[in-house]
Amino acid sequence: MSQPGVSIQDVPSARTGSATSFAMVAGEASGDLLAGVLLDGLRERWPSMRAAGIGGPQMCRRGFDAWWAQDQLALHGYGWDVWLRYRGLLAIRNQLKTRLLSSRPDVFIGVDAPDFNLGLEAALRAQGIRTVHFVSPSVWAWRAQRVKKLRSSADHVLCIFPFEPALLARHGVAATYVGHPLAQLIGMQPDRLGARAALGLSTAERVVALLPGSRRGEIEHLAWRFFQAAELIHKALPATKFVVPTLPALVPAIEQAARSSGFSGAWQVVQGQSHAVLAACDVTLIASGTATLEAALFKRPMVIAYHMSTLSWEIMRRRRLQPWVGLPNILCQEFVVPELLQDAATPRALADAVLAWLDAAGNAPTRIIALQERFMQLHQDLLRDTSRLAADAIAQVLKG
């Protein structure tokens, strides 16, 4: 990883026929994954290209020069803790803007993280740098006013959901549907037995995956609730095994949540390997976010939960445009899986919802079969050659 003072000023301009230079910013683990897939497509089209900015391990494995780690952009909610970090994030963005205006990459690509990226994109675009935003902000779910900011910030938007380009076009935003990279990374028929073997789980075990989020704020709000729910599930079905995939930095917080909850059942924490855990489990209790789409692509029954500070919840609640929060429900346009949010996310309610899925596995398999068929169709709708389609769209932006 480079030191913050490194720039890409030595990267020649694509417009002179030399190596193409890209600047990128990806926030959180999901953005890192998306950007990694995008970098594959960029490298295939422009083998000598260079890319630098803010990113994570998936990007760095592909030769990305990360000036700052992507986890520095991760925030949770609207509370006081977020405002305490705001000045630091603003300083990072200002420093990055100064470097990019000096080095002038051929294209700046903001990957998700709209609160950070859209303002940066607008400033760069105003100075003649082409800008692309990868992953449309959820203007169809909440904060509809963001579409105006998107229009002024991005020359082009790469969309991961099929209905988005037409919606953005109505607001004068150029966009291309490129599919969702997760639909390529996750097989249409997940290898459940292989995943269990890799995790040391028997084929006969009843397994519940607990995914309380990838940010510290989410862990603080959700992990103890998940473990208390697990205790109730354990009392009803003592043989149940619980598996918690998480980032290495979050392991202590997960273990503390388990201790403070009084959970006495069998559980194991797994560093990383969330895909293996989702492939192996019978049902997952999961925080709302990208992981719910991953669970859907693994064709797994789930219970979606979320909890945040009261202030954050009130702001989110008032800005919601749809009755659903979880991505599987939004994409299916109905409650195909239960959502338990804020005050509804009690340990008892979470446990009962998980137990209902476990009961269905034995007594009402048609419910699970119908869910899996719905998720199969969703997977097919999202499956595209994302890296190639994204590179094609960016090439058109470069032709400008």
Contact 224, 263 (CB under 8 A): no
Residue 122 is assigned to a structural domain of this protein: yes
Contact 53, 92 (CB under 8 A): no
How far apart (Å, rounded) are the C-alpha atoms in residues 278 and 291?
9
Domain identity same for 362 and 378: yes
Query: Residue 304 belongs to what H/E stretch?
Result: strand 302-306
Q: DSSP character for 12? A: P
Q: DSSP character for 142? A: B
* CA distance to 82, 305, 312, per residue, from 75 (Å): 6, 18, 12
Query: Which range (141-150, 157-166, 170-179, 386-395) has the least confidence?
Result: 141-150
Give just the sign of the alpha carbon dihedral 347, 352, 353, 355.
Answer: positive
Residues 352-361 have pLDDT tens digits of: 999 999 999 8
Domain identity same for 26 and 159: yes
If we measure between CA atoms, which residue out of 55, 61, 52, 50 comes closest to residue 11?
Answer: 50
Residue 168 is assigned to a structural domain of this protein: yes
Give just the sign of the alpha carbon dihedral 360, 366, 367, 368.
Answer: positive
Domain identity same for 47 and 152: yes
Domain identity same for 201 and 68: no
Residue 346 is assigned to a structural domain of this protein: yes
Domain identity same for 391 and 339: no
Residues 327-351 have pLDDT tens digits of: 999 999 999 999 999 899 999 999 9
Residue 15, pLDDT score: 42
Answer yes or no: is pLDDT of 84 > 80. no
For residue 15, count CB atoms less than 10 angstroms from its CB and return exposed for 0-12, middle for 13-18, buried for 19 or more.
Answer: exposed
Domain identity same for 20 and 158: yes
Those residues with Cβ within 8 angstroms of residue 34's Cβ, 6 or more apart along the chain or in another chain: 26, 111, 112, 134, 135, 160, 181
**Which residue range(s) make up the domain with 134?**
14-179+384-399
How far apart (Å, rounded) are the C-alpha atoms in residues 271 and 262?
22
CATH of the domain at 26: 3.40.50.2000
Q: Which residues of 307-342 are buried (b: 16+ CB within 10 A; e: fewer)?
A: bbbeebbeebeeeeeeebbbbbbbbbeeebbbbbbb
Answer yes or no: is pLDDT of 76 > 90. no
Residue 326 is assigned to a structural domain of this protein: yes
How far apart (Å, rounded) are the C-alpha atoms in residues 85 and 90?
9
Query: Residue 54 belongs to what H/E stretch?
Result: strand 50-55
Those residues with Cβ within 8 angstroms of residue 329's Cβ, 6 or more apart along the chain or in another chain: 304, 335, 336, 337, 339
Domain identity same for 330 and 343: yes
Residue 3 is assigned to a structural domain of this protein: no
Residues 229-285 have pLDDT tens digits of: 999 999 999 999 999 999 898 999 999 999 999 998 889 999 989 999 999 999 999
Residues, the chain: 400
Domain identity same for 123 and 154: yes
Domain identity same for 391 and 256: no
If we measure between CA atoms, which residue out of 284, 277, 296, 278 comes closest to residue 373?
Answer: 296
Joined tokens for residue 340: 């338990």
Residue 8 is assigned to a structural domain of this protein: no
Residue 5 is assigned to a structural domain of this protein: no
If we measure between CA atoms, which residue out of 60, 63, 72 comes closest to residue 27?
Answer: 72
Domain identity same for 171 and 213: no
Residues 117-136 have pLDDT tens digits of: 999 999 999 999 999 999 99
Domain identity same for 216 and 243: yes
Domain identity same for 391 and 251: no
Contact 64, 33 (CB under 8 A): no
For residue 362, count CB atoms less than 10 angstroms from its CB and return exposed for 0-12, middle for 13-18, buried for 19 or more.
Answer: exposed
Please provide the average confidence, as pLDDT, over all residues in the chain. Answer: 89
Percentage of residues in the chain with pLDDT exceeding 90?
72
Residue 187 is assigned to a structural domain of this protein: no
Answer yes or no: is pLDDT of 143 > 80. no
Report the domain count for the chain. 2
* Ramachandran assignment for 65, one of left (phi > 0), alpha (psi -120 to 50 degrees), beta (any other): beta
In angstroms, the first-to-last Cα distance of the chain is 32
